[in-house]
Chain A
Amino acid sequence: MKQFAVGLIVGLVLVGLVASTLDLPVRLLKEEAVPTVTGKVGQPRQDDVWMIARMVAAEARGEPFQGQVAVAAVIINRVRDARFPGTVNGVIYQPLAFEPILNGSFWRVNVTNDHVRAARLALNGWDPSYGSTFFWNPATAVSRWIWSRRIITRIGKHVFGV
């Protein structure tokens, strides 16, 4: 019985040791999750490009290039639309607006040159979505509401609409 008690104490000490390292995975996760901005400081619209490229990477990975530009253009179209927030960050971080923000993939994606180029083209005015303010993937869209939108075009796996 005495041994059992000693065992308990040793066990608790071990638990204490584990507890002290508990926030380690959080710290590691954070280091992985917080992305760094590459590119030159002072480059115009750098923050907007960073955000849009990230959303394109998260939402349109594997899509044809014009489909990636179209996804970026939807973000720009929302910024210019009175029914949505008036800034790029307002649109991207609007609660419940984009799946990658909800599931966190926005902070984990691997942004490539193409995603950045798509973001810049959309900011410069290219719009293969022809003014769309919504896009969705018919195969995975869960909301029935989304199908009440008027469809404008389809590119790759995505449907674009207003």
Chain B
Amino acid sequence: MHLRDFFTRRKNFLLGVGLALVIGLGVLWVTQANSRAFAMENALEASYQNAFFSLLENTENLDVLLGKAQVTNSDTHNIITLTTAWHEAETGRNNLGNMPLGMINMMRSHQFMTQLGDFCYSLAEKLADKEKLSESDMETIKDLQVEVRKIHMELRDLMGIAQDKDIRLGSLARPRQALRLTPDSEAVVDGFARMDERLRDEVPTLTYDGPFSDHVVNRKPRGLTGPEVSQREAEEIAVEFIKKENPEADYRAETTELSSGNIPAYNILLQRQGQAQADTALGISRKGGHIVWMLDLNENPQERRVSIEEALETAEDLVNKLDLGEFIKIGHLAEGNEVVVNFALLEDDIIIYPDMVQVTVSLDSGNIMGYDAQKFLTSHTKRDIPKPKLTEDEAREKVNGDLKVEGVRLALIPLSNLDEKLCYEVKGNLGKDTYFVYINAQTGQEEKVLLIIKTKDGTRSI
């Protein structure tokens, strides 16, 4: 039987198969794709709505908690109220981060939630330290409560619009250029934008003892001393720095960019004579010509051939050549095939923890791969460190009796509000774990406890 005969005889049959296939597959494809996309969209919508409703609840709870904080007369009870408010604000911040509005319309709202929580926490800390809340603290709580109530009302209204007009929150998340928003959903997006704008205009800057306080966020680097340097001088400084490691090589420097930002700097690339590509990038501060950071661009360590001890020595050698003062190694951690080593300034046998520099060393070639002094340049300054009122033995006695003390030394530690406190750093063991306990050298108060985790790759503190 010829193929052609088969086709003529079975024409109708084949036609039937073909038709069924075309229609059937078409329908199948459309429904499958649709139902899958539909299920996903619903799941997404559910998570958006979940975030929105949780946010409403957060703002309502915050309103109540801030009210109670003004009424209560018991400091101990107020600590609980304020820490609950902190937690509530953090959850609110988290829920804001899950809203389908993009960050542009949410940035100030985010900041408000963060600072509100941070502020409440700082007050709870104050009370825990047996301090009283000041009148201005109470005033701020009152203002914040008014603001939270407004936010709550605005969110309620927006939720109302969304419910009345059947707006799916997911539809707000589509990039605008892809899908024009309907006037109703536009109203919801604009509502959020207006709320954000109102917060930007109305809420004054908040200064308090917490890491998100405006005075911490807007800090100026203290360690940038000296005159402005020219581009040529900066390039010379960069070459001089790299020659500390490779004295024989010749380098060509090229400034690629003038950066502003927290430390205004020249971005410089160094190219070794005879090499096709730049092999080092550096940032040199415009004021004072300090080395802010350095990164090796070509090194890619593949295996560990150098011991960590050798690498630590290499790092120490570099830090000793920096001319920034005497440094002490405070920790290191090997990750992958490189090790990062942390150093802190040592002044009159006091460890100055805020003034930190870091060095990374390749465990493959043993070469320096990176250097960073941003922390040092931000915090370093001439300090008047007071004489400790407590003696070392008195500090030992302040520590929990179960801790087996191994050693005590003086240290200046940074607090989250930028304050620095002179403390006795008491190193002790509890069972198999090592802890650092920081006892304020003036007041005898315990400022901080750190758990030290030791591995064969280094230490880290929590």
Contacts and interface: CB of A to CB of B under 8 A. Distances in A.
A127 interface: yes
Interface string B284-312: 00000000010101001000000000000
Given A66-B295, A130-B263, A155 B100 contact: no
Interface stretch (B101-109, B228-236, B437-445): B101-109
Nearest to A12: B20
Contacts of B267: 66, 128, 153, 155
Interface stretch (B11-19, B138-146, B237-245, B427-435): B11-19
A56 interface: no
Given A8-B20, A86-B93, A124-B372, A65 B340 contact: no
A24 to B, nearest CB: 12
Contacts of B338: 117
A142 B178 CA distance: 11
A124 B370 CA distance: 11
Contact of A125 (B99, B108, B110, B374): B374
Given A4-B16, A7-B12, A12 B24 contact: yes
Contact of A152 (B99, B260, B293, B370): B260
B369 to A, nearest CB: 9
B300 A83 contact: no
A78 to B, nearest CB: 9
Contacts of B114: 82-83, 86
A28 interface: no
Interface in A1-47: 1, 3-12, 14-15, 18-19, 22, 26, 43-44
B97 interface: yes
Contact of B259 (A5, A44, A153): A153
A9 to B, nearest CB: 8
Nearest to B102: A96
B16 A127 contact: no
B12 A128 contact: no
Interface residues of A, number: 59
Contact of A96 (B94, B103, B212): B103
B16 A18 contact: no
Interface in A87-131: 90, 94-97, 102, 113-114, 116-117, 120-121, 124-131
A26 B335 CA distance: 36
Contact of B103 (A14, A94, A102): A94
The listed residue with most A CB atoms (<10 A of its CB), out of B13, B100, B358, is B13
B15 A153 contact: no
Nearest to A116: B336
Nearest to B335: A120
Contacts of A26: 36
A-B pairs with lowest CB-CB distance, top 6 = A7-B16, A11-B20, A130-B261, A15-B24, A96-B102, A85-B97
Given A130-B263, A154-B256, 20 more contacts: A7-B12, A7-B13, A8-B19, A11-B18, A11-B21, A14-B17, A22-B28, A94-B98, A95-B99, A96-B102, A117-B338, A124-B340, A125-B358, A126-B293, A130-B265, A131-B261, A132-B261, A145-B104, A152-B260, A162-B261
26 contacts: A3-B10, A4-B12, A7-B13, A9-B20, A11-B21, A11-B24, A12-B20, A44-B335, A64-B281, A66-B297, A82-B118, A82-B212, A83-B103, A83-B114, A85-B94, A86-B94, A95-B98, A95-B99, A96-B173, A96-B175, A114-B300, A126-B374, A129-B261, A130-B260, A130-B265, A155-B267
Interface of A: 1, 3-12, 14-15, 18-19, 22, 26, 43-44, 64-66, 69, 81-86, 90, 94-97, 102, 113-114, 116-117, 120-121, 124-132, 142, 145, 150-155, 162
